[in-house]
């Protein structure tokens, strides 16, 4: 059945959602109120510095009014974030990707433990959070993600390795539609992509398959390796091994996909930047995007009519459908040392107390 029309999740609406999420600051007692105004003037509004995508002015003004403070929106840039951390002047709140950011920053003591704020809150309790939020937890003693203190809160999450497909393009190619309950094998998926691709004068005009997941090729390798029964990471997340049979199988699949030239890859990226413009323009038959992509599809009735959602394909016998991002916001800590986050040392010294109480806020489009 067609995807039910919903509000379009275009850039404007995504940013509006981002602005609304900033209001969670009020739910964590002591967070926003601890941020200094820096002016020294009695009654002066405090300023909260947020590293995120650019916000529309009206969204920022709305949140400022609700919070009773000024917002300084710094455009997200990992290089700039590292420089700010090294300079002992981090943003109060940073939008990030839990799966990859938490082990990196928390292990270096560069994120604020939010457990005490959740404990004081009458609105937000850990027991109310979906299990996907555990990607924002990290135990520095055991070096395990998913347990220990909580360093952020997810704005949203979905099964990012599932895929959307266009029924009209399948029908034009006289191909049977994928099941909405039983996953394809990755080889079957690749074969469909080869059958659906359209070329003209040696150039791809319609992508058969966009196999890139949210988070890039590494996320794809992690998911496929897990499906094959392996893991790229050691238990302590300290090392990565691409030499296992399962990892090599995932790498070989991606190489075959890239060589087939049936969709965007690291050697031939999508000029549109991401899947939606291409999918909407009838130039992509299958797009590996999570449930969140349905918000965008639902905003276009014609595209919604011909769109379906299918399970994540399997490279092996293990059925997995991971959330590869769980985008959320966390709060950096100010290190006493000036050890940059890229340093080989495992952690920095304990953080100093000023400006370490930082509320979750904001989010970003993929």
pLDDT in tens, 316-330: 988 887 776 555 555
Q: 57-67 and 11-21 are packed helices; what angle lies between their axes, rounded to 10 degrees?
A: 10
Burial 199-210 (b: 16+ CB within 10 A, else e): eeeeebebbbbb
User: Two tokens at 325?
Assistant: 């991002």
What gap in Å lies between CA 290 and CA 315, rounded to an integer? 18
Which pLDDT value is given to residue 258? Answer: 96
Helix (H, G, I), strand (E, B) or coil at 314: strand
> Whole-structure pTM over 0.75, yes or no?
no
pLDDT averaged over 10-residue windows placed end to end, the chain, 366 residues: 36 36 40 47 79 89 93 92 91 84 86 92 90 89 90 81 96 96 96 97 95 80 92 80 95 96 94 94 95 91 97 91 62 49 26 29 31
Give the position of tokens 């990755």. Answer: 186
Which pLDDT value is given to residue 101? Answer: 83
Which pLDDT value is given to residue 334? Answer: 57
Q: What is the topology classification, in CATH, of domain 11-157+325-330? A: D-Maltodextrin-Binding Protein; domain 2 (3.40.190)
* Distances from the Cα of 84 to the Cα of 112, 286, 340, angstroms: 15, 40, 9
What gap in Å lies between CA 57 and CA 128, rounded to an integer? 32
Secondary structure E strands in the chain: 47-52, 70-75, 93-97, 137-139, 144-150, 152-154, 163-166, 198-200, 203-206, 286-287, 307-310, 327-330
* Equal fold, 11-157+325-330 vs 163-310: yes
Parse the chain into domains and list their residue ranges.
11-157+325-330, 163-310
What gap in Å lies between CA 123 and CA 134, rounded to an integer? 19
Which pLDDT value is given to residue 236? Answer: 72
Which pLDDT value is given to residue 286? Answer: 98
Helix (H, G, I), strand (E, B) or coil at 139: strand
Which pLDDT value is given to residue 20? Answer: 35
What gap in Å lies between CA 142 and CA 249, rounded to an integer? 30
Which pLDDT value is given to residue 201? Answer: 92
The dotted CATH code for 163-310 is 3.40.190.10
* Distances from the Cα of 176 to the Cα of 167, 304, 347, angstroms: 9, 19, 53
Which pLDDT value is given to residue 268? Answer: 92
């Amino acid at each position: 059945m067609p995807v039910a029309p919903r509000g379009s999740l275009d850039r404007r609406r995504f940013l509006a959602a981002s602005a609304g999420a900033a209001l969670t600051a009020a739910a964590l007692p002591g967070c926003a109120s601890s941020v200094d105004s820096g002016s020294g003037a009695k009654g002066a509004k405090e300023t909260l510095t947020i590293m995120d995508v650019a916000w529309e002015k009206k969204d920022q003004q709305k949140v400022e009014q609700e919070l009773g403070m000024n917002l300084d929106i710094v455009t997200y840039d990992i290089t700039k974030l590292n420089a700010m951390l090294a300079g002992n002047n981090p943003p109060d709140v940073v939008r990030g990707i839990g799966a990859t950011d938490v082990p990196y920053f928390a292990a270096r003591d560069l994120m604020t433990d939010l457990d005490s704020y959740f404990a004081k809150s009458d609105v937000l309790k850990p027991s109310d959070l979906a299990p996907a939020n555990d990607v924002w937890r990290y135990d520095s003693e055991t070096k395990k993600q998913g347990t220990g203190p909580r360093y952020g809160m997810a704005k949203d999450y979905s099964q990012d390795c599932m895929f959307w497909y266009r029924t009209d393009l399948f029908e034009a190619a006289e191909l049977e539609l994928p099941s909405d309950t039983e996953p394809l094998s990755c080889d079957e998926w690749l074969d469909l992509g080869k059958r659906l691709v359209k070329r003209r004068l040696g150039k791809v005009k319609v992508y058969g398959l966009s196999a890139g997941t949210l988070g890039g090729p590494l996320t794809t390798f992690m998911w496929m390796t897990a499906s094959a029964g392996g893991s790229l990471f050691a238990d302590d997340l300290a090392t990565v091994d691409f030499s296992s049979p399962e990892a090599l199988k995932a790498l070989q699949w991606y190489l075959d996909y890239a060589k087939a030239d049936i969709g965007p890859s690291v050697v031939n990226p999508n000029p549109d930047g991401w899947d939606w413009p291409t999918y909407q323009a009838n130039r992509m038959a299958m797009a590996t995007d999570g449930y969140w992509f349905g918000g965008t599809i639902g905003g276009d009735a014609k595209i919604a009519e011909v769109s379906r959602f299918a399970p994540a394909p399997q490279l092996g016998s293990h059925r997995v459908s991971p959330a590869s991002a769980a985008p959320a916001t966390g709060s950096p800590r100010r290190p006493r040392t000036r050890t940059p986050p890229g340093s080989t040392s495992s952690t920095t010294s304990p953080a100093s107390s000023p400006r370490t109480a930082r509320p979750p806020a904001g989010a970003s489009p993929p």
